[in-house]
Amino acid sequence: MTAAVDKPHSHGAVVPEASRAEWFTSYDVAAFEVPSGREEIWRFTPMKRLAGLHTGAEASGAASVEVDAPTETTGITVETVQRGDSRLGAAGVPADRVAAQAYSSFTAATVVTVAKETQVATPVTITVTGPGAGKVAYGHLQVRAERFAEAVVVIDHRGSGVYADNVEFVLADGAKLTVVSIQDWADDAVHVSAHHARIGRDAVLRHTVVTLGGDVVRISPTAAFADKGAEVELNGLYFADAGQHFEHRTFVDHAVPNCTSNVVYKGALQGDGEGDTAAHTVWVGDVLIRAAAEGTQTYELNRNLLLTDGARADSVPNLEIETGEIAGAGHASATGRFDDEQLFYLQARGIPEDQARRLVVRGFFHELLMKIQVPEVRERLEAAIEAELEAVGA
């Protein structure tokens, strides 16, 4: 599909400032310098559009967090806790200033716990509504899956305003957690979010990020294995229109043996515009296999589909391997224009152009959509993709 203008990704062209192992982390915002935008981790981000999240903007509103847990099952606990709660921060430590700002600034956190050995078939839906246009808010959310618990959690972000938060996933041994985080914000919204997952022995996290709306959305999912035999899937799907900046920075930290990770992010970009008015997406995928992580199996892939001229997709996979005793490690990245040969083929079978384009784009996302095992979420995303295509009359 991308054969026409496939170009090599920037592998080798970018030398990380430091090994991912040496990155500075802290819960305290004061421990981070104010970024200028030239730093490696900020160099793609339009800092001017962050509404001061990186320079210490104070909260001027609050996001609402509503948890809709299935009523037919027991075993799900929803709590609103104060910042002193000892469980908070268990899944990871902020690794950039905005995440630390959010950690230092939230007033109350939501903790959702799935009790041990509970299996919840119906998704738990957490709806996060922005603070409103022109307002700034900080938040904190933690999802805990106890031993052998199995659950599906949908986090649905919508509304207006500026919002920074940390989202934690704490998976105890043998837990299976499926997470779908949807960013379907209004056009003005700015959302900078750090997701931290700590995955216990033989636990499985399937984490999918879906970014469809907002002015600037920057999500940084980090997955760290606490013990052997665990598995993580980090999936992402994004669809950026003119003027939108969607950035996803994944990091998988293999510090223990015999764990498996698979990262698949796919994006489509469309709409006329240049510079700040063009659609811009960024995917940076870091994988670190530490010396102790023997038997690691990892793969990461990013594909971008440029539907119109002017759109820009940056794609940077970084794979650091500190042991030779691994099962497998690889990555792939490609950005290409819409393939006119596919369009011709479909049209030559009588399919009108707009419908043919939709078929191709739907096909592009098909692999990811099939990974989303919650039918209602999948249907909603299919409808959202159709709506994106309708919007430009593609």
Residues that bind other proteins (CB under 8 A): 1, 339-342, 344-353, 355-356, 359-360, 362-367
**Rounded-to-integer distance, Cα 260 and Cα 330, Å:** 12
CB of 73 to other proteins, least distance (A): 34
Q: Given the complex with other proteins, which of 142 and 302 has the nearer CB atom? A: 302
In this structure, what token pair is assigned to residue 354?
């707009």
**Rounded-to-integer distance, Cα 144 and Cα 58, Å:** 29
Q: Given the complex with other proteins, which of 220 and 333 has the nearer CB atom? A: 333
**Rounded-to-integer distance, Cα 247 and Cα 345, Å:** 33
**Rounded-to-integer distance, Cα 286 and Cα 156, Å:** 25
CB of 340 to other proteins, least distance (A): 7
**Rounded-to-integer distance, Cα 385 and Cα 358, Å:** 9
Residue 119 carries which DSSP code?
Answer: B
Q: Which of 247, 244, 248 is nearest to 270 (CA)?
A: 244
Q: Given the complex with other proteins, which of 193 and 208 has the nearer CB atom? A: 208
| Cβ neighbour number for residue 276 with a 10 Å cutoff | 11
CB of 241 to other proteins, least distance (A): 21
CA-atom Rg of the chain in angstroms? 20
CB of 367 to other proteins, least distance (A): 6
Handedness of CA 126, 231, 98, 100 (dihedral sign): positive
Reduced to 3 states (helix: H, G, I; strand: E, B; else coil), residue 232 is strand
CB of 310 to other proteins, least distance (A): 21
Q: Given the complex with other proteins, which of 1 and 47 has the nearer CB atom? A: 1
Q: Given the complex with other proteins, which of 25 and 342 has the nearer CB atom? A: 342
| Cβ neighbour number for residue 193 with a 10 Å cutoff | 25
CB of 341 to other proteins, least distance (A): 5
CB of 357 to other proteins, least distance (A): 12
Q: Given the complex with other proteins, which of 260 and 308 has the nearer CB atom? A: 308
Q: Which of 361, 33, 98 is nearest to 249 (CA)?
A: 98
Q: Given the complex with other proteins, which of 55 and 355 has the nearer CB atom? A: 355
The Cα diameter of the chain in Å comes to 64
